[in-house]
Amino acid sequence: MQQSLNIARVEKHFTRYIADIPYLYFNKHGDGLIGIAFHIANKTEFAKLNLRNKHTKQLAGRDEKTAEFIRSSRLPKGYAVNFYEPFGELYLPHSESLKLLSNRVSVLITELQDSYKKPAFKQLPLAVQLSLLDMTYELKQQSLADTYPDFHTAIKQQDWLLASEHCHREHVSKARNNKIKSLLKNAEAPNKSWLYSLKNWLLQLR
- The full 3-state SS of 114-145, as one line of letters, equals HHCECCEHHHCCHHHHHHHHHHHCCCCCCCHH
Quick check: 203 pLDDT over 70?
A: no
Average pLDDT of span 171-193: 87
Quick check: 201 pLDDT over 90?
A: no
pTM of the predicted structure, to 2 decimals:
0.86
Dihedral sign for Cα atoms in the order 39, 42, 47, 53? positive
Q: List beta partners, residue 38.
A: 34
pLDDT tens digits, residue range 144-167?
999 999 999 999 999 999 999 999
* pLDDT for residue 184: 98
Residues in the chain: 206
Domain spans in the chain, listed from the N-terminal domain onward: 19-96, 116-204
Q: What is the mean pLDDT of the chain?
A: 92
Q: How confident is the model at residue 193 (pLDDT cuts 50, 70, 90)?
A: very low
Quick check: 199 pLDDT over 60?
A: no
